[in-house]
Structure 1
């Protein structure tokens, strides 16, 4: 009888010890790779950011020349960003208005309450501005005007741009702002006007200076994308083929809208969207920026 009690007691002790060992080991030993992967996936999902992108500006933001009439680069960059693993979703609002100068854009920001409300909620603001200021000056002095002929216009633009950034900061001092530089739509056809490119270069240089001295602003360069240094000019095409301007429709600028040879076409807007995407994704790689956008 005592032997049976000893056996029973030993069995109970073994079972209790086994259970205790299991609990301790379960607590101390790391979880399986499967569980770890699930936790990492959950953490990644929680860290993904929702992008609220508000676009303001001129015809390049409205999307003149876009055959789909969806809004130029804005929906394109949204689609591109949705494929980024750090992005949960992208929402956009487009306040582009064809023909607006920098002063007219400033007025829109001061008066349009709907735009103001959207800007306050945005974590990304995009901007195209200055092209119409420059074009008005070209109409006065022609395509062969010198840099000095544009200095007054450039100075007025600089004042307006500073005011625009001040307004945007007033509505939302946490959003990341991306301003496009200008591209020279005349370079392909009128490269013989040597001073023409100098005007666009100076304009972009002044914009870069303001952007670098303003918090949360990034300059997006596109002139070299629209006018790569190795692209043939119309003059070269004509000299090689003997055709006149009317006869070389198939050699139009690959990124310009055929109806006006000024605004981007569908391919041009893809170039703009890709350049903006690259700039935004560079910021998304920054952990601090990602956390800031997630607030």
Structure 2
């Protein structure tokens, strides 16, 4: 009988040790286990990125596309309660967004709990390249210099998305592309559009390679604004060639000071760079339509 009791006690002790070790290793590995809120009626959205996420240029105090998107979601999905955190910071490049994320326990906790993560990135990386090489002797040299920065940007964005993936577990990711804010006043410089599209291709490729990743394009609407027709664009090109002949360096002038010779109705007249209310309306509708179609964020 004593031997039987000893065997039972040893067996029970062994089970206890296994369970204890299992709990220890699970608690040390939270990334592998989704910690999204168990409240099926609450949806938490986290916004990361630069000034576009922050909402620079928005005159409605709705934090740009972020607040607008939440309003659209609330109206369309009344069965849910929505809340969000906006961690956008003006001027941040991809490496700076990653640095802030790695140094902020608040951001990390928010991304872990998120039901959806949304980000704008790349505009400042590209703008830095343009500013660095704005004095290039010709547009061929400029594009060559800009393309050299694409590999660095791809590496930087890969690191950023990898870190977000570690934190967001099952939450889908929605990643915006960028646009050319100065097109209507530099219409003859098609090379700038090509450079922006080069960076956008990186965003698209890396976003769609992520599990639950979705790419959002706003290039055409925000770049061309109200000038969507071929005839309108040709006229912009013609006027730009005439006007640029009066400037020593039209590209640098447009980048540094902004020009309002012609207005893009989707871009802020305050800085000629960020979206205005109409531009943010378009961004929010683009995001909303993608979230409605790709509804992994909804809790069953």
TM-score band (shorter)?
A: 0.7 to 0.9
**1:283 aligned onto 2:279:** no
1:230 corresponds in structure 2 to 229
1:186 is matched with which residue: 172, 182, 187? 182
* Cα distance change on mapping 1:221 and 1:265 into 2, 3 Å: same
* Contact residue 59 and residue 276 of structure 2 kept, 8 A: yes
1:272 is matched with which residue: 283, 289, 294? 283
Which residues in structure 2 correspond to 1:72-221 (within 5 Å)?
72-85=64-77, 87-142=79-134, 144=139, 146-221=142-217
CA distance in 2, matches of 1:276, 1:87: 20
Report which of the two structures shows the higher radius of gyration computed on alpha carbons.
1
1:14 corresponds in structure 2 to none
CA distance in 2, matches of 1:280, 1:273: 10
CA distance in 1, matches of 2:195, 2:48: 24
Q: TM-score, normalised by structure 1?
A: 0.74
Q: Name stretches of at least 5 consecutive residues in structure 2 with no aligned partner.
A: 1-38, 247-253
Q: Name stretches of at least 5 consecutive residues in structure 1 with no aligned partner.
A: 1-46
Q: Deviations over 1:225-261 (max 9, x none)?
A: 2134427359639959x9999xx96951101111111
* Contact residue 187 and residue 236 of structure 2 kept, 8 A: no
SS at match of 2:159: helix
* Contact residue 119 and residue 168 of structure 1 kept, 8 A: yes
CA distance in 1, matches of 2:61, 2:69: 15
* Contact residue 188 and residue 234 of structure 1 kept, 8 A: no
Q: Deviations over 1:151-194 (max 9, x none)?
A: 23211111111111111111121111101000111211101112
Query: Could you tell me how far 1:70 is from its partner in structure 2?
Result: 3.1
CA distance in 1, matches of 2:117, 2:214: 10
* Contact residue 131 and residue 182 of structure 1 kept, 8 A: yes
CA distance in 2, matches of 1:185, 1:227: 6
Greater Cα shift, 225-234 or 203-212:
225-234
CA distance in 2, matches of 1:130, 1:138: 12
1:263 is matched with which residue: 274, 283, 288? 274
CA distance in 2, matches of 1:282, 1:273: 14
* Cα distance change on mapping 1:76 and 1:174 into 2, 3 Å: same
Q: TM-score, normalised by structure 2?
A: 0.73
* Contact residue 177 and residue 215 of structure 2 kept, 8 A: yes
Query: Could you tell me how far 1:69 is from its partner in structure 2?
Result: 3.0
